[in-house]
Amino acid sequence: MSVTAPQGFVASGVAAGIKASGALDLALVAAEPAGAVAGSATFTTNLAAAAPVQISRTHLAATRGHVAAVLLNSGCANAATGAQGLEAARKSAATVAAALGVGVDEVLVCSTGLIGPHLPLGQLVAAVPELVDRLGASRSDAARAAEAILTTDTHAKEVVVERDGFVVGGMVKGAGMIAPNMATMLAVLTTDASVGPPVLGDALRRAVAASFNELTVDGCTSTNDTVSVLASGLGRAVDADELADALLEACADLAFQLAEDAEGTTRVARVVVTGAASGEDARRAARAVAQSNLVKTSLYGADPYWGRVLSELGASGAAFDLASVSVRYGETLVFAEGCEVGHDRAATSGYLSGSVVEVRCDLGLGQGEATVLTTDLGPGYIDENMRTS
Amino acid sequence: MSVTAPQGFVASGVAAGIKASGALDLALVAAEPAGAVAGSATFTTNLAAAAPVQISRTHLAATRGHVAAVLLNSGCANAATGAQGLEAARKSAATVAAALGVGVDEVLVCSTGLIGPHLPLGQLVAAVPELVDRLGASRSDAARAAEAILTTDTHAKEVVVERDGFVVGGMVKGAGMIAPNMATMLAVLTTDASVGPPVLGDALRRAVAASFNELTVDGCTSTNDTVSVLASGLGRAVDADELADALLEACADLAFQLAEDAEGTTRVARVVVTGAASGEDARRAARAVAQSNLVKTSLYGADPYWGRVLSELGASGAAFDLASVSVRYGETLVFAEGCEVGHDRAATSGYLSGSVVEVRCDLGLGQGEATVLTTDLGPGYIDENMRTS
């Protein structure tokens, strides 16, 4: 069900021929009945933002937060494509808007794939009638939409969060170029909560900050990242806290799915920092450990070499006192009071061989806490990324 | 010759048994005749600084820049070893000082190897008589010292820069954990220029900033980095500019050798950014490209996927306007005026297959320029780092 689980939404996915493989590559999520509902989105902070990001920003500003549909394609990022790319993004939105009978500004557009190639607009436009015709609220309709946005992902990623009186649904694609501010990823969230655009936008930003923006795979912030949310208002009225909480649950679930399915990943690690001098210091320290190639390579080898964790904490810029730091792999204390703590190395390595592991660092200085999700770094990442064509 | 090329220095290297392999693992560079000469050093910015870094900082401060010798060991970083580690570093300096007949504060100490294990002080102390006995100014004496500081390096790295009336010599070890601020590396530079500690320190900082601190292998700043310099004063008097220039030539040569011999590297890339709004922006942009796992993995695959370069420039935090950026691989223009520029892809890939390549980015905004040296990221890096034991 995912994006069609909340009342008031339909979805579809088709093969438009943007991917040479003939796989599904064009998805639509729309309000049903057709018409603008409250919408919001957060976009990449990359200044080389792709054409669809630029167009979607303009559309959201023009409607002041009312969105009828989100069109997403895989197989081409439509990034670094100049004026022609902007025109292609605009025309694809206009084609969908005409087919749905809504304003062009009420359609957001998202693209993912290689940077550089031009969007095959003719093929995309030709596929819109089938895309609109297939719109439906069934589980398989949502699943086809989730399938059509994948790139190097190995499977579709969906979520449904049910709360008293309202539901949140969502789908995401990721795989590589994943970093805070944000992952290379496209996500669409839907809810039937009754809420206006300002509250919706606020709740989205809070949920994204504590989920997708606390995930790092390779520290690369892409040109196309977009998380959008649509609220049909068919459920009960909610306040920002309540909505943010439900959106966070959905986003955190999707972020974990992204980590698990990241390019070449064999395990997911939660880097938990406690006892930092501030929350900001905790995030800085956790990100430093989570982004370290040496830590990530150790994780691939299930090697309990805590020295690299300690070194990254010390180099992170967070307030740091070696004598007050402790490091644990799961429950096993491996460093405290300035020195290594004796532990059963084989057992610790066994723990680190799991599919989900925790690296827990207490800085012993204050109350700041943060958790960052990361992945290991093994040959699979290199195999997937060394050649794009 | 390297560190013994300038007049007034001797060196030696022995196997003290710190490395289980029995390889050379203890080196000494000393002023000859014994006695303090002008000295300076720059150290890691990592707050988890190892015991030898802490001790050397104290010694330099106590003598106000007079150094008689630098003792270096490989096989153990003596980092995260608490009070016992500090005592071991202090005692190793004292043992050498007694053997040379100089003050303990006049000896700097450097260690490299795994973080965590305690320095085998007994073995080290037992090897000092042979180490001092072997001190000499021949090419092979210097070569043994350069050999004794290696860890995962595949060969020793030395340099000699001859100027009118003075000489600079140097040796370095590196291999992994290489990042700005600084590489995991130990370097010792010597010169017979006649110069006091303040000018020597200033010249060293300038040379390091433009060489070792513009090299990145994996973005990891280690606990032990130290670059020290000793000036015997037996040559002619020099000013800071003249000395900085000679030290920079030596450091840049050693930094390039570090990159070439970095763990698992198959090629070295110079990332050159021009046209940035400021020098700081240029460095930020060049480092972002140079540290990107996606760019580095493309370099390993000799894949001319400029989209990743562009994306990193846009995400770097430097002022950026997509329409004014151009990207070249060597001389080949691949992106300009917002779009890909047609080029012979096979030829560009052929260029990228070389052992030294250039990625040149012009931001088209101002006069800021910077060059950062980096390496590709291939399976060799993972093979070397996935298990430490």
Contact flag A82-B323 (C-beta cutoff 8 Å)? yes
CA separation for the pair B226, B201 (Å, rounded): 13
Residues B287 and B346 in one domain: yes
CA separation for the pair B344, B341 (Å, rounded): 10
What CATH number is given to the structural domain containing B94?
A: 3.60.70.12
Residues B255 and B272 in one domain: no
Residues B207 and B288 in one domain: no
Distance from CA of A47 to the nearest CA of B (A): 4
Please give the residue range of the domain that contains residue A302: 268-385
Residues A27 and A57 in one domain: yes
What CATH number is given to the structural domain containing A288?
A: 3.10.20.340
Residues B134 and B29 in one domain: yes
Contact flag B388-A79 (C-beta cutoff 8 Å)? no
Q: A76 to chain B: which residues are within 8 Å by CB?
A: none
* The two three-digit tokens of residue B33, written as one number: 């005749």
Kindly state whether A346 is in contact with chain B, defined as any CB-CB distance less than 8 angstroms: no
Under DSSP, the state recorded for B302 is T
Bridge-based pairing of strands B356-362 and B166-173 is unpaired
Kindly state whether B353 is in contact with chain A, defined as any CB-CB distance less than 8 angstroms: no
Q: Has B184 been annotated as catalytic? A: yes
Residues B20 and B155 in one domain: yes
Residues B284 and B253 in one domain: no
The average confidence (pLDDT) of chain A is 91
Contact flag B80-A377 (C-beta cutoff 8 Å)? no
Q: Among A260, A278, A299, which residue terminates a domain?
A: A260
Q: Among A260, A279, A302, which residue terminates a domain?
A: A260
Q: Among B228, B243, B260, which residue terminates a domain?
A: B260
Partnered with residue A13 across adjacent β-strands are A27
Residues A183 and A301 in one domain: no
* Residue from B184, B226, B274, B332 carrying the catalytic annotation: B184
A–B: how many Cβ contacts below 8 A? 202
Per residue in B291-308, pLDDT tens?
888 899 999 999 999 988
B195 touches B235 (CB < 8 A): no
Per residue in A120-176, pLDDT tens?
999 999 999 999 999 999 999 999 999 999 988 888 989 999 999 999 999 998 865
The tens-digit pLDDT sequence of chain B (389 residues) is 699 999 999 999 999 999 999 999 999 999 999 888 999 998 888 888 899 999 999 999 999 999 999 999 999 999 989 999 999 999 999 999 999 999 999 999 999 988 889 999 999 999 999 999 999 999 999 999 999 999 888 889 899 999 999 999 999 988 665 544 434 688 899 999 999 999 999 999 999 888 888 776 665 667 888 888 999 999 999 999 999 999 999 999 998 888 888 878 899 999 999 999 999 999 999 999 998 888 999 999 999 999 889 989 988 999 999 999 999 999 999 999 999 999 999 999 999 999 999 999 999 999 999 999 999 998 887 787 777 75
Give the number of C-alpha atoms closer than 13 A to the C-alpha of residue A15, restricted to the C-beta side. 7
Distance from CA of B224 to the nearest CA of A (A): 10
Kindly state whether B324 is in contact with chain A, defined as any CB-CB distance less than 8 angstroms: no
Residues A120 and A90 in one domain: yes
Kindly state whether B83 is in contact with chain A, defined as any CB-CB distance less than 8 angstroms: yes
Distance from CA of B13 to the nearest CA of A (A): 27
B156 touches B143 (CB < 8 A): yes
In what side-by-side order are the strands of the sheet with B186-191? B66-67, B37-43, B226-231, B186-191, B166-173, B157-163
Q: For testing the chain B interface, which of A297, A349, A352 should be mutated: the one with the most B CBs within 10 Å?
A: A297
Contact flag A310-B382 (C-beta cutoff 8 Å)? no
Contact flag A116-B387 (C-beta cutoff 8 Å)? no
Partnered with residue B153 across adjacent β-strands are none
Kindly state whether B308 is in contact with chain A, defined as any CB-CB distance less than 8 angstroms: yes
Secondary structure of A209-263 in HEC code, one letter for each residue: HCCHHHECCCCCCCCCCEEEEEECCCCCECCHHHHHHHHHHHHHHHHHHHHHCCC
Contact flag A81-B338 (C-beta cutoff 8 Å)? yes
Give the number of C-alpha atoms closer than 13 A to the C-alpha of residue B45, restricted to the C-beta side. 15
Per residue in A222-259, pLDDT tens?
788 888 899 999 999 999 999 999 999 999 999 888 88
Name the closest residue on chain A to residue B379, using Cα atoms.
A379
Q: Is the pTM of this model over 0.90?
A: no
| Count of structural domains within chain A | 2
Residues B134 and B63 in one domain: yes
3-state class of A161 per DSSP? strand
Residues 237-276 of B with CB under 8 A from A: none
Tally of helices (H runs) and strands (E runs) in chain B: 11, 16
3-state class of B110 per DSSP? strand
Name the closest residue on chain A to residue B384, using Cα atoms.
A297
What is the sign, positive or negative, of the torsion defined by CA atoms of A25, A31, A36, A41? negative
Kindly state whether B355 is in contact with chain A, defined as any CB-CB distance less than 8 angstroms: no
Residues A183 and A278 in one domain: no
| Residue A344: burial class (beta carbons within 10 Å; 0-12, 13-18, 19+) | exposed
CA separation for the pair A211, A255 (Å, rounded): 6
B82 → closest Cβ in A114, A337, A377 = A337
3-state class of A339 per DSSP? strand
Tokens 């690690």 sit at which residue? A269
Residues A171 and A54 in one domain: yes
